[in-house]
Structure 1
Amino acid sequence: MPLRFTTRRAEGGSARRPLSIVSCPLFCPSEPNQFSPMLFRQINDAKLAQYAYLIGCQETGEALLVDPERDIDRYLDLAEREGLEITAVTETHIHADFLSGARELAERFDTTLYLSDEGDENWKYEWAQGPKQGGGDYDVTWLHDGDTFQVGSVEVTALHTPGHTPEHLSFLVTDRGGGADEPMGLLTGDFVFVGDLGRPDLLESAAQVEGAMEPSARTLYTSVQRVLEMPDHLQVWPAHGAGSACGKALGAVPQSTLGYEKQFNPMIDAAREGEDAFVEAILADQPEPQIYFARMKRDNKEGMPVLGSLPAPRELTVRELEDAAADEAPLVIDTRLDRSAYMANHIPGSLYAPMNDTFNTVVGSLVEDETTPIVLIADEGDVEEAVRDLVRIGYDNVTGFAEIDTLQRYFQAGGPSETIDEITFADFDAELQDEATGVLDVRYRSEYEEGHVEGALNASYTRMPEYETELPTDKTLLVHCGSGARAAAASSYLARTGHSVKYVNDHFANYEAASEEAVAA
């Protein structure tokens, strides 16, 4: 029997970097034909493990953009290449891990907004209820469960699927222009992932809404019951993939089907065991969220600043880098991939955030004030990527950059520098003979609980600014994680805040293996 949905009328447009990944289902051709005028594109931000979607009607040239990030020129370029105009934008929920591009589109192009009006009064889109910055009102349609809207011949039906957040919507997509009378797939946002479900603890663990965790988990359980009744053929198009902190075990496959997830998603399987068993399973071992998540929730709810064009940091000379290093106002962020090189020689007070997939997480976790002027140590070819990474999480004040070669000439010219001692787990026995030495484990709490160095303190690096003031100041801290990557960023932050640290560049598995050998002996 085909799905039937009731509807009700809801109340109420630098250098450019190529998209990292653009995918399309095999049965959804990119060229128009008599069978399917719908065009479907998934756009991946690998660092935030975030998916946005461009869904277009090739017959009318209109397109819907779903869950866009803030630097919208990427989506505009893609739409133009496909012969489409983005006439509408929607979001599955108020996001916690990046700044939305919905307001940017509405302010600059009067794009129609389709936003959730579900959930409690504390989680409404406040910015879209007020006037635009340039005057006039937003063209917004407020969505409730069952509401349907069309972009060209593409029909979209909103389903209220709370649990991750109170206002969360999922969207059924039907290709009416292709002759379909049933949905092809479900844009699940942060509800159903490949291999996981969206975590229900973020309102409490990230946004500091006390007591929200367990009720949210029970609400999520109810939402799962609804999805269990939907047809197996529906494709699942999630808002995140592996690497996102919006779940704890997301799969690396970009899309799935509902039938597959019903069979193999362990959290959906847990829901079959009953509500209490599900709540226990979904809340267990959730990693500590990045500290910037609370700010993203606030800004996406109240109104993120309109970006306009990307920041254009100026390249610094050696002399200008010396001036920046001497100035207490800017934060120098060192993006070199070689963390041992950073430990051996770096600008005093600089933060280590390598230009890899952890860059957003490191900066978002360790830089609390988004208005801080930022100077990057990065090669010119990486600057735009770094700027985009930063503005996506609200750091717009990127004032300058110095190439890595300029940094080396700065050191050669006698510019002030600092060193952080680097050790391995093989050095622990000797280091811990000194009573003024302690161990700091910056892995997630769940990792720490599975096994740790005896007497070690635990402070996840994703929330280090919260823990830092409670750490001992009369000891040298041996800072370690699972592989040395997280500990490198944490060591730089702790040194910047005045702690005496030694960086452990080693895999924790080596410590465990050595401990097991010692016991066996």
Structure 2
Amino acid sequence: MFVERIYDEDLAQAAWMIGCQATGEALLIDPERDVCRYLDRAKYNGLTITAITETHIHADFLSGTAELASQTDATCYLSSHGGDDWSYQWTKNSNSNIQFVEDGDTFQIGNITIAVVHTPGHTPEHICFLIHDKDTKEAIGYATGDFVFVGDLGRPDLLETSAGIQGVMEASAQQLHKTCQRFLKMDDFVQIWPAHGAGSSCGKALGAVPQSTIGYEKRTSPPLQLIGDEEAFVDFMLTGQPEPPLYFARMKQMNRDGMPILGGLPAPKKIESATELKRLALTATTIDTRDWAEVRDGHLPNTIWSKANGDFHRYAGSFVDASEEIILIVREDELDRALRNAIRIGLDKIIVWAEPEVLLQVPNLETMPEITVQELDTVENISILDVRRLPEFEAGAIGGAINVAHTRLLGRLNEIDKKQTWVVNCHGGSRSAAACMELKRKGYTVTNLAGGYKGWKQHTSFCEV
């Protein structure tokens, strides 16, 4: 039996490849959309992907199930538990081999048996997979998707907070409690293979350890210690969850209803003319991946700032719509990473890219004002916008600030008066910098607070001594 965790550090997302070495067949669980890397790993290990599945309709990335099925003869095993609202629709127009599965079903990957377990709570259709090696009654592993993480559980509020279905998160949390009661009866020795690690927005306290066991999670996971007290469990699971990026709603819809098949990574044209770059920037959105100080001191009009790393989905995903044509400002050695991060969240319309050296040849670049915490004391007639998460804001904030998390900013612009001049802060200055660039695109007068709330707190504490 072969098991490999294929991990995306930027989205903190894990796909699991389960292979039967005797027959050369493999199952891939929860793939992302840039599927070439899975095919490469299978080939390297002498395997052929003959089956694809996913634990649920994801909110944080576009699934690679349909993409991979279009490039292979693999069978797709999908949950039949979604009901009227959360059943797969893209399958109706697909030529792929699709089998719907439900709780208690099994299927084979060579000599390996995969048993389906319905685990609603994070989402209604969520399923997990118990993995049995040849001729073994006991499972070796449990692919838990977004149900059980190391040290946490999948959040039950996303249908309401990201997909906009009102009044369902408490019932979802209650359902998750029931699902956990079933989990507690499972064998302690079974390994847990989750779909996310630390840094994911699908929970609030995910551990960085890649896998665990059922027994260890029973004994140590904070929410599992509350099983038996439904009220306390529901309160715990619905408190302190991070505000989901706005793109989550689009991911849910596209993963349910369908998305374009890419057939490979995009190959945008490279721009080497500053004149052409400036012309294209008048009608396209520029995603500038340079360091903040460089972007602050010179950028094209209609630019947002987003590094090509794990910030990409939080910043570009929060501020760029899938319909926008995109220019990437990126070093060549980071181009592949930026392209993959873009298509994983459905930002497919990347028309051109340019290296920073070309951008610096464009005359009259725009700049973003920025002040220090010391200078904040001397500025008059300003309003303060804090773009941290609500729990951060409630723990302490600059006097008079209003709070809108940067991941929800575009949905709450009506709360930000365009007639005001705004100083924008986060904890250290990065989230606020990204928010400033987007607010500038929308016509606001903004200044970034370098050092953020952390710097302001240190400054005011020093002044009080």
Is TM more than 0.5 here?
A: yes
Scaled by the length of structure 2, what TM-score is found?
Answer: 0.97
Deviation, structure 1 residue 194: 0.6
Contact 1:40 1:55 in 2 (8 A): yes
Alignment of 1:425-436 (within 5 A): 425-431=373-379, 434-435=380-381
The Cα of 1:381 is off from its aligned counterpart by 1.7
Which residue is 1:164 aligned to? 122
Letter in 2 for 1:271: I
List per-residue Cα deviations over 1:89-108 (Å, max 9, x = no partner): 01100000111111112223
User: Which of the residues 427, 444, 454 maps onto 1:499?
Assistant: 444
Partner AA of 2:344 in structure 1: R
1:297 pairs, out of 232, 252, 257, with 252
Question: Measured at CA, do residues 494 and 234 of structure 1 come closer, stay the same or move farther in structure 2, by a change above 3 Å?
Answer: same
Change in 2 beyond 3 A, CA 1:160/1:439: same
Are 1:187 and 2:139 an aligned pair? no
Query: Per-residue CA shift, 1:300-354, capped at 9, x if unaligned?
Result: 00012111121111111212112112x32x11111002x1221121112211112
- Greater shift, 458-467 or 509-518, is seen at 509-518
Say whether residues 1:480 and 2:425 are aligned partners.
Answer: yes
- Choose from 391, 396, 400 the match for 2:343: 391
- 2:247–2:318: 8 Å Cα contact kept in structure 1? yes
Out of 33, 40, 49, the residue aligned to residue 86 of structure 1 is 49
CA deviation string 1:355-381 (max 9, x = no partner): 2220122111111x2021111111122
Whether 1:271 aligns to 2:220 is no
How much does 1:468 deviate? Answer: 2.0
Q: Distance in 2 between matches of 1:146 and 1:225?
A: 17
Shift of 1:115: 0.5
- Between the aligned partners of 2:453 and 2:367, the Cα distance in structure 1 is 23
- Asked if the contact 1:195–1:266 (Cα under 8 Å) also holds between the matched residues in 2, the reply is yes
Q: How does 1:76-115 map to 2 (within 5 A)?
A: 76-115=39-78
Match of 2:66, SS?
helix
The equivalences for 1:223-372 within 5 A come to 223-272=179-228, 274-316=229-271, 317-325=273-281, 327-328=282-283, 330-337=284-291, 339-367=292-320, 369-372=321-324
Cα deviation for residue 70 of structure 1 reads 0.8
**Cα offset, 1:517, TM superposition:** 4.8
Contact 1:131 1:138 survives alignment (8 Å): no
Kindly state the Cα deviation for residue 139 of structure 1 after the two structures are TM-superposed. 1.6
Correspondence for 1:72 among 22, 35, 44 = 35
CA distance in 2, matches of 1:282, 1:517: 38
Q: What is the CA-CA distance between 1:271 and the residue it aligns to?
A: 2.4
Shift of 1:507: 4.2
Paired positions, count: 464
Asked if 1:467 is matched to 2:412, the reply is yes
Partner of 2:90: 127
Equivalent in the alignment of 1:5: none
**In the alignment, residue 263 of structure 1 is paired with which amino acid?**
R
2:309, 2:338 within 8 Å by CA — same for their partners in 1? no
Q: Is the 8 A contact 2:398 2:453 kept in 1?
A: no
**TM-score after normalising by structure 1:** 0.87
SS in 2 for 1:409: coil
Q: Distance in 2 between matches of 1:70 and 1:408?
A: 33
- What RMSD, in angstroms, separates the aligned Cα atoms of the two structures? 1.3
Counterpart of 1:12 in structure 2 is none
| TM superposition shift of 1:516 | 4.0
Residues 398-424 of structure 1 deviation map (CA, whole Å, 9 limit, x = unaligned)? 1111101111122xxx2x321111112
Give the distance between the partners of 2:4 and 2:314, measured in 1 at CA: 26
1:58 to 2, 11, 21: 21
Secondary structure at 2:231's aligned position in 1? helix
Once residues 330 and 462 of structure 2 are traced to their aligned partners in structure 1, the CA distance between those partners, rounded to angstroms, is 43
**1: CA distance, partners of 2:226 / 2:103:** 25
Instruction: Answer yes or no: is the 8 Å Cα contact 1:366–1:463 preserved in 2.
Output: no
Aligned to 2:361: 409
- Quick one: distance in 2 between partners of 1:398 and 1:445? 33
Report what 1:207 is aligned to: 163
Contact 2:309 2:337 in 1 (8 A): no
Which amino acid in the other structure matches residue 278 of structure 1? Answer: F
- Runs (5+) with no aligned partner, structure 2: none
Segments of 4+ in structure 1 off by > 6 A? none
What one-letter code is carried by the residue in structure 1 that aligns with 2:297? A
* Aligned-residue identity in percent: 47
Contact 2:150 2:207 in 1 (8 A): yes
Aligned residue in 2 for 1:512: 457
